[in-house]
Amino acid sequence: MEGDRHHAKSERDAELKNISGVTLMSLDITDPQQIKTAAEQAVAIHGLDVVFNNAGYGLAGPLEGLADEQIVRMVNTNLMGTIRTTKAFIPHFREKRSGLFINTTSIGGLITVPFNSIYHATKWALEGWSESMAFELNQFGIRMKILEPGGMKTDFFTRSFDTGRHQEYDKLVDRVMAVITDPKQMETYSSPDQIAEVVYEAATDGKDQLRYVAGADAKATYASRLQLGDEKFRKAMDKQFFGSGLAY
């Protein structure tokens, strides 16, 4: 499996190298020094107009079943990686009084589902951080936008996913995953190309708009939350996953 992923990455890298004007650089967003170096090199080679913070992964399971190392790794990647990368590029944008950051969060930054608490913690944190930073950066002509995609028709659940388990929660987790991975539900998920179109829109529309909810499922879910209100929506989600009964 690891060999297949490495081969696929090598093929993608080779394809990108053949595109005129594309320069590939190594960047581990959990490595502050590598972030700093990559930012300096990118600015020196091309100059920049847009920084797209898109790296991240999922983490599912009951909190009791997660190791501290898993929690720290997720926060360091999904949250601190975006914060550190943004900080490294701000001076360039500030000096030229223009630029755009696009941060990928998720519909999971606007709503929650069971057994994804740490993932949601990072995405909700990015939502609040991005909104606050938008005020801060706007004073220097720099914009910040948030991309909030829903389900994706990709190998996210195998390639970009970590899990933890605890036997006391196994049956409950199975019930939740049965809902999330239901074929009818997955039919509503978006293709990467559909989400890419929203990224391009955010990068080029020139609008003073913070949030871009992407995907039919994400738009429908968020609209439902807004229509019902927080409490009614939360109760509806609880019923969807667990019915009306308790685990004990």
Catalytic residues: 119
Q: Nearest CA to 100 among 215, 213, 212?
A: 212
Long-range contacts of the stretch 232-236 (C-beta < 8 A, 24+): 233/111
- Sequence-separated (6 or more) residues with CB below 8 Å from residue 120: 108, 109, 112, 113
Is residue 34 within 8 A of residue 26, CB to CB? The reply is: yes
**3-state SS class at 205:** coil
- Sequence-separated (6 or more) residues with CB below 8 Å from residue 3: none
Helix locations, 114-246, DSSP H: 117-138, 156-159, 170-180, 183-186, 192-204, 216-228, 230-242
For residue 140, give both structure tokens.
């220097």
Is residue 179 within 8 A of residue 115, CB to CB? The reply is: no
